[in-house]
Amino acid sequence: MSETPHHHGYIHAKDDYLKRLRRIEGQARGLQRMVEEEQYCIDILTQVSAMTKALQSVALGLLDEHMNHCVVDAARAGGHEADAKLKEASDAIARLVRS
Amino acid sequence: MSETPHHHGYIHAKDDYLKRLRRIEGQARGLQRMVEEEQYCIDILTQVSAMTKALQSVALGLLDEHMNHCVVDAARAGGHEADAKLKEASDAIARLVRS
Amino acid sequence: MSETPHHHGYIHAKDDYLKRLRRIEGQARGLQRMVEEEQYCIDILTQVSAMTKALQSVALGLLDEHMNHCVVDAARAGGHEADAKLKEASDAIARLVRS
Amino acid sequence: MSETPHHHGYIHAKDDYLKRLRRIEGQARGLQRMVEEEQYCIDILTQVSAMTKALQSVALGLLDEHMNHCVVDAARAGGHEADAKLKEASDAIARLVRS
């Protein structure tokens, strides 16, 4: 954790994100059942691809909100803080692109 | 589902996959808590990247087992069945590469 | 083209990018020779992966410079222009993550 | 190189691959011009995404041909050679998925 977990208040569509993450949790449970029952491998892989896409979409949405709030605020404040926030956002983007 | 869910018996390290998928399910729950508490966005994105990598690694392992069993069996049997299995595996690989 | 091609002046390490892109162009020519000579497929795929990584790295560097200049300037100016620039950057990030 | 460069003869649509790779080489040259002229960053990134997708598509096509020839032949031959070819294909797939 790079900050203490106080409320950052930047997530506008919080309920929407929670709903999508609960669905992703359900997909993870579904995958366990499929592996448990040794269902057909290609069907399992199709589920993994769908789950990966759902996760990516959550990540891109959160990154969007982050840039619209934290990064914009930091850019306006300027100085070292702005540079640090931009570097942090760039690193997060690079991790997403490479994962 | 492209086949009825009888046991395909191709998953050798089943317990290992189940353990990894339970951990991924836990990561999905952890993400919900982070969003609920509006933790720092970059920390949430770091978790999403870790979870995506864990999922990819499960997918690559399952694909490996699939190719070593179903695809090899089909290749030996030959004919239309072999072509169909290879096409199916190629499509699954393309979905993984593009997701 | 979303803007007329006047000089935006935001690329600091221009010579470095040009050098990396010339190397990528060379990799594309090398791949043609490998296919022409029908070299071993796995070796060709290894080259494609290396080239994809090199391209990704150029993209992440350029995105970084863009965010440090255009996005920061727009954020300071504020208003509709800031929103539009951020939307545009988000869309470019999504295309990179999904490609 | 994992084999001496004799003709493997597995690439059926050779001219098609060469044409696609020449287009990719042209995209690499186009990117140099865009950077040289310092064109708008987002337009450059859009080109990089298009080029990455084109490369991925070449890779998936070549992998397909490889699996339909080398892997199937090895699977039929069986033994250590089959295992080695499958391991090699799996590693190439993992590199593509992760790049």
- The answer to whether residue D20 scores a pLDDT higher than 60 is yes
The low-confidence residues of chain A, meaning pLDDT below 50, are 1-6
Residue to mutate among B35, B70, B93, with most A CBs inside 10 A, is: B35
* Contacting residues for A73 by C-beta, under 8 A, at least 6 apart: none
Of C29, C41, C46, the CB nearest to D70: C41
CB of B93 closer than 8 Å to CB of D63: yes
pLDDT of amino acid B10? 62
Residues whose CB falls within 8 Å of the CB of residue C86, separated by 6 or more in sequence, listed in order: A64, A67, A68, A72, C71, C74, C75
- Which tens digit of pLDDT belongs to each residue from B5-52? 445 666 778 999 999 999 999 999 999 999 999 998 899 999 999 999
Cβ contact A98–C56 (<8 Å): yes
Looking at CA atoms only, how far is residue A81 from chain C in angstroms?
12
pLDDT tens, residue by residue, B68-88: 888 888 888 888 888 888 889
What pLDDT is attached to residue B29?
A: 98
How would you class B84 by CB atoms within 10 Å of its CB: exposed for 0-12, middle for 13-18, buried for 19 or more?
A: exposed
**CB pair distance less than 8 Å for B68 and D56:** no
CB contact under 8 A, A55 and B53: no
Q: What is the pLDDT of residue A3?
A: 47
Token pair for residue D85?
């070819």
Q: Name the band, by pLDDT with cuts 50, 70 and 90, for residue B61.
A: very high
Residues from C in contact with A at Cβ < 8 Å: 56, 59-60, 63-64, 67-68, 71-72, 75-76, 78, 82, 86, 89-90, 93-94, 96-98
ipTM exceeding 0.85, yes/no: no
pLDDT band at C9 (very low <50, low <70, confident <90, very high): low
Say what the pLDDT of residue D3 is: 47
Do the Cβ atoms of A76 and C71 come within 8 Å? Answer: no
Alpha-carbon distances, residue D47 vs A71, A83, B94, D92 (angstroms): 26, 27, 21, 26
Looking at CA atoms only, how far is residue D85 from chain B in angstroms?
Answer: 10
pLDDT at D10 over 80: no
Taking residues C32-55, report their average pLDDT.
93
Looking at the complex, report in whole angstroms how far the Cα of residue A31 sits from the nearest Cα belonging to chain C.
23
* pLDDT at B1 exceeding the cut of 60: no
Write out C35-72 in H/E/C secondary structure. HHCCCCHHHHHHHHHHHHHHHHHHHHHHHHHHHHHHHH
Q: What percent of chain C has pLDDT over 70?
A: 90
Mean pLDDT in residue range C31-47:
93
